[in-house]
DNA sequence: AGAGTGATCATG
DNA sequence: ATGATCACTCTC
């Protein structure tokens, strides 16, 4: 039953490769014995020390970003803007601090529980299907992902992992990453990937 | 287009 | 200690 779980070899590759390979895969979050599942439809690659948009730019190593310095296959969850969490998967080898940001998902299972988690920000009856996973902080809220899951090993965890899957006939688009305007020449590099024309992509 | 929000980090 | 920043979201 676990044969589709992505293993360490999947994650220990170039983040640009992993970012594209993750499109269509299933993100699984188990909470209180219930499985919440979303299909990944949008990602961004962060290329490490040289990447001026990455948290590890210039070799920065802090308490927050420590997970990015570990081996590929861990979760890197960070907190920002005083209220939002975002989920990354760590890629490559230890001391190669690269990662892929999960930017959007299509809710697949446990949708009512996701709505519960998202209610409060938006009144429950105003929540549309695309309000559950069409952004990195929205999907973390829907899946109840916070810093407690930072450093979680996605290859062995019973709370959070990713399974191989595909969307037959999907087309991949790419473009500049969102929200990294400060990153100078790195701001415009096409390191954001998404499934073309998919409803649940952000923006 | 602007506000909200507080952990995080570089500075000193 | 302090101040600036922020891989975002919501509402206007």
**Nucleotide with the nearest C1' to A122 CA:** C10
Q: Which residues of chain A have pLDDT under 50?
A: none
**pLDDT at site A2:** 66
**pLDDT at site A123:** 81
A33 phi, psi to nearest 5 deg = 75, 0
Q: How far is CA A146 from CA A32, A50, A51, A57, A179, in A?
A: 16, 27, 25, 23, 20
- What Å value separates CA A89 and C1' B2? 32
**pLDDT at site A1:** 57
- Contact of A90 with A71, CB cutoff 8 Å: yes
| Strand C contacted by A131 CB (< 7 A) | yes
Q: How far is CA A109 from CA A32, A39, A72, in A?
A: 14, 10, 27
**pLDDT at site A41:** 98
What is the per-residue pLDDT across A131-168, written as a single tens digit (0 to 9) for each?
999 999 999 999 999 999 999 999 999 999 999 999 99
Q: Which helix (H) or strand (E) holds A38?
A: strand A34-46
| Strand C contacted by A56 CB (< 7 A) | yes
């Amino acid at each position: 039953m676990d044969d589709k779980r992505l293993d360490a070899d999947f994650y220990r590759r170039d983040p640009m490769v992993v970012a594209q390979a993750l499109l269509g895969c299933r993100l699984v979050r188990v909470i209180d014995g219930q499985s919440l599942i979303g299909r990944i439809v949008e990602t961004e690659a962060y290329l490490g020390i040289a990447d001026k948009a990455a948290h590890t730019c210039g070799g920065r190593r802090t308490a927050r970003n420590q997970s990015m310095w570990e081996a590929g296959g861990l979760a890197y969850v960070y907190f920002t803007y005083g209220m939002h969490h975002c989920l990354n998967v760590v890629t490559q080898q230890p001391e190669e601090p690269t990662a892929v940001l999960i930017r959007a998902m299509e809710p697949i299972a446990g949708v009512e529980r996701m709505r519960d988690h998202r209610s409060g920000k938006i009144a429950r009856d105003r929540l549309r299907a695309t309000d559950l996973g069409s952004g990195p902080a929205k999907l973390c809220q829907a899946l109840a992902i916070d810093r407690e899951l930072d450093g979680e090993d996605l290859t062995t965890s019973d709370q959070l992992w990713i399974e191989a899957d595909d969307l037959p006939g999907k087309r991949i688009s790419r473009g500049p990453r969102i929200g990294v305007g400060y990153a100078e020449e790195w701001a415009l590099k096409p390191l954001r990937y998404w499934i073309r024309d998919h409803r649940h992509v952000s923006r």
